[in-house]
Chains A and B, each alone.
Chain A
Amino acid sequence: MSSFMGYIYDFARKTWVNKFSNAHTHQRVVNKPKRFREFPTVNKKYCIACGACTASCPSPHAILLVRDKDDDEGEGWTYPVINEGACIRCGFCAEVCPTDPKTLECGENHLYEPEFNIIPSKRQYIVDDYLCIRCKKCMRTCPVGAISVVDDKMVVDPLKCIHCNECVDVCPVEGAMKAVIVDNLQDQKDLIVLVVNFLEKFIENKTDDLRSLKKDGLLQYEVPITEIWDDALKIIPDGEIAMEIIRKSINRMKIRIIDWDSDKCKKCQLCVPECPTGCIKFDEENDTIVRDVEKCLRCSICYQTCPFSVIKYFLAKFAFEENEDGDEVIHISVRNSNICNDIVVD
């Protein structure tokens, strides 16, 4: 009975009468909210035709890379075209677009930016949503309650975080909770490039070992970290941070090695048109094939093309460990690629 009286009372209220006599759709219902992602917009002139948007698109007919006809003014533009009948507005294409400014724009992107923090620390704690298993151990461990669940995702509040690093220690999945150093990202990239170049050169110099490697064989080396340590300290002077970046990058690094045995080459030039970047060229004056190592993608197409097995293709994996003497070493293992295993390796 009381609820019934409540209804009666509700109808007698002035606000109800006002709303009833002036019934209309509220503007906020019709307007799109700010977070709503529209169809992507295309800026033709920035496109480099890399195809990253088409590769990332989950819908089969949503993006097409098209190229205009060449005319008197020059080559036609190459650019992506969005088919609105198939686009699901996920925004992946805008996220992967590598050009700056972006060719494809689609709402707010998902990249993170350094946020204001009251504690003077270089790190920012970020949960990798793909790796996170939502065990909530970090949430329970956090002494200040900075970690919470928002939209079924673990989120660290940078204003509350005191950088005690306990969430990283307790996390059962390696890499799910990240303590990213945000202020020297370019230096970190330079350091990783240095390590990769050093290791590649090291493996390429072992030509005898590589060429005598059997089909299922495995080559193993150990390189002490001291060989690159001085160069690394020139890029990042803080030894602790440099060591952490080297360790993290090496432990999940795989690189592809190409060995070029020019003595076997018969100058058939089959590999020249196949190369997607055009880094293989025929030098007519010296009658040799020249490969530009800087431009090479290590895609293995030349290896699959060559009929004389001039080119060999290897996969290398790395691990960062301590040996018996307590020195830090990089453990390298190299094996033959399993693409076209049937080709006879003499």
Chain B
Amino acid sequence: MLNTLKDIVRKSSIHVCIVNCGGCNGCDVELVALLSPRYDLEQYGIYVHNNPREADVLLLTGAVTEQWVTDLKKIYDKTPEPKIVVSVGNCPVSGCIFNQEGGKVYAPASNFIPVDASIPGCPPRPTEILEAILAVGPDAIAQRGREDK
């Protein structure tokens, strides 16, 4: 009963899955700040589901480490089409400070999966992350025919 009600309410919201593929957790802390009352992610119709099978948007943080090279592709394959990938922070773009000589980092993430949008910053501000999700999220919803009519 409650679950069906929730499903009805969340029908047109953007479902987000956070994937940390080996970073310093700084960007993840900023994502947690988004859930806090100050920014309150859910008032914009974004729902952090953390289940790739039901996600519209994959939020990618962290420089890709060796184990994540295969796991990242697996998670991407599990996400239903059409899918949107947003990379948060510098790590998925360039490897940031981890991309030193002798480092075992396989950045950029776009070598393995297609990335639609990236937010630079180490870490980016929560508002910047919010802006990026809201810029690409509604398109993903519209492509699935789930938009709020």
* In the complex, chain B residues whose CB is within 8 Å of the CB of A86: 90, 93-96, 99
For window 23-41 of chain B, which residues contact chain A by CB distance below 8 Å? Answer: 38-40
Is B127 part of the contact surface with A, judged by Cβ < 8 Å? yes
- Cα distance A25–B43 in the bound complex, in angstroms: 9
Instruction: Give B contacts to A, CB under 8 Å.
Output: 38-40, 43, 90, 93-97, 99-101, 118, 120-122, 125, 127
Which DSSP category, helix, strand, loop or mixed, fits chain A's interface?
loop
A-B pairs, 3 with minimum CB distance: A85-B93, A88-B122, A86-B94
The segment out of A56-64, A137-145, A234-242, A309-317 that lies at the interface is A56-64
- Knowing A29-B38, A60-B100 touch, does A87 contact B43 (C-beta < 8 A)? no
* In the complex, chain B residues whose CB is within 8 Å of the CB of A84: 120
- Knowing A25-B43, A89-B122 touch, does A60 contact B99 (C-beta < 8 A)? yes
Complex partner residue of A60 from B38, B93, B97, CB under 8 angstroms: B97
Q: Chain B: which residue is nearest A30 at the CB level? A: B127
For window 186-221 of chain A, which residues contact chain B by CB distance below 8 Å? Answer: none
Is A83 part of the contact surface with B, judged by Cβ < 8 Å? yes
- Knowing A61-B94, A86-B94, A89-B122 touch, does A29 contact B100 (C-beta < 8 A)? no
Most A CB contacts (10 A, CB to CB) among B38, B39, B43, B97 go to B97
A85 touches B90 (CB 8 A): yes
A88 touches B90 (CB 8 A): yes
Q: Chain B: which residue is nearest A57 at the CB level? A: B97
B97 touches A88 (CB 8 A): yes
* In the complex, chain B residues whose CB is within 8 Å of the CB of A60: 95, 97, 99-101
Q: Chain A: which residue is nearest B124 at the CB level? A: A89
Q: Chain A: which residue is nearest B122 at the CB level? A: A88
Q: Please name 20 further chain A to chain B contacts, defined as beta carbons within 8 Å, in addition to the given A85-B118, A89-B121, sorted by A numbering.
A: A23-B43, A25-B40, A25-B43, A29-B38, A29-B39, A32-B125, A59-B90, A59-B96, A60-B101, A83-B94, A84-B120, A85-B94, A85-B120, A86-B90, A86-B93, A86-B94, A86-B99, A88-B97, A88-B122, A89-B122
Q: Chain A: which residue is nearest B120 at the CB level? A: A84
* In the complex, chain B residues whose CB is within 8 Å of the CB of A61: 94-95, 99
A: contact size bracket? 10 to 19
- Cα distance A59–B122 in the bound complex, in angstroms: 10
- Cα distance A86–B63 in the bound complex, in angstroms: 11
- Cα distance A183–B137 in the bound complex, in angstroms: 58
- Cα distance A227–B62 in the bound complex, in angstroms: 62
Which DSSP category, helix, strand, loop or mixed, fits chain B's interface?
loop
Q: Chain A: which residue is nearest B126 at the CB level? A: A29
Give chain B nearest CB distance to A111 CB in angstroms.
23
Complex partner residue of B90 from A30, A32, A87, CB under 8 angstroms: A87
Most B CB contacts (10 A, CB to CB) among A32, A61, A85, A86 go to A85
- Cα distance A85–B87 in the bound complex, in angstroms: 11
Convert A77-113 into 0s and 1s, putting 1 for each residue whose CB lies closer than 8 angstroms to a CB of B. Answer: 0000001111111000000000000000000000000
Is A36 part of the contact surface with B, judged by Cβ < 8 Å? yes
* In the complex, chain B residues whose CB is within 8 Å of the CB of A36: 125
* In the complex, chain B residues whose CB is within 8 Å of the CB of A85: 90, 93-94, 118, 120
* In the complex, chain A residues whose CB is within 8 Å of the CB of B40: 25
Give chain A nearest CB distance to B132 CB in angstroms.
14
Most A CB contacts (10 A, CB to CB) among B96, B100, B101 go to B96
What are 18 A-B contacts defined by CB distance under 8 Å? A25-B43, A29-B127, A30-B127, A32-B125, A36-B125, A59-B96, A59-B122, A60-B95, A60-B99, A60-B101, A83-B94, A85-B90, A86-B99, A87-B120, A88-B90, A88-B96, A89-B121, A89-B122
Give chain B nearest CB distance to A136 CB in angstroms.
29
Give chain B nearest CB distance to A47 CB in angstroms.
23
A59 touches B97 (CB 8 A): yes
Complex partner residue of A58 from B93, B97, B118, B121, CB under 8 angstroms: B97
- Cα distance A61–B38 in the bound complex, in angstroms: 34
Give chain A nearest CB distance to B100 CB in angstroms.
6
* In the complex, chain B residues whose CB is within 8 Å of the CB of A83: 94
- Cα distance A58–B90 in the bound complex, in angstroms: 13
* In the complex, chain A residues whose CB is within 8 Å of the CB of B90: 59, 85-88
- Cα distance A39–B119 in the bound complex, in angstroms: 13
* In the complex, chain A residues whose CB is within 8 Å of the CB of B95: 60-61, 86
Q: Chain B: which residue is nearest A33 at the CB level? A: B125
* In the complex, chain A residues whose CB is within 8 Å of the CB of B125: 32, 36
- Cα distance A89–B125 in the bound complex, in angstroms: 12
- Cα distance A29–B36 in the bound complex, in angstroms: 12
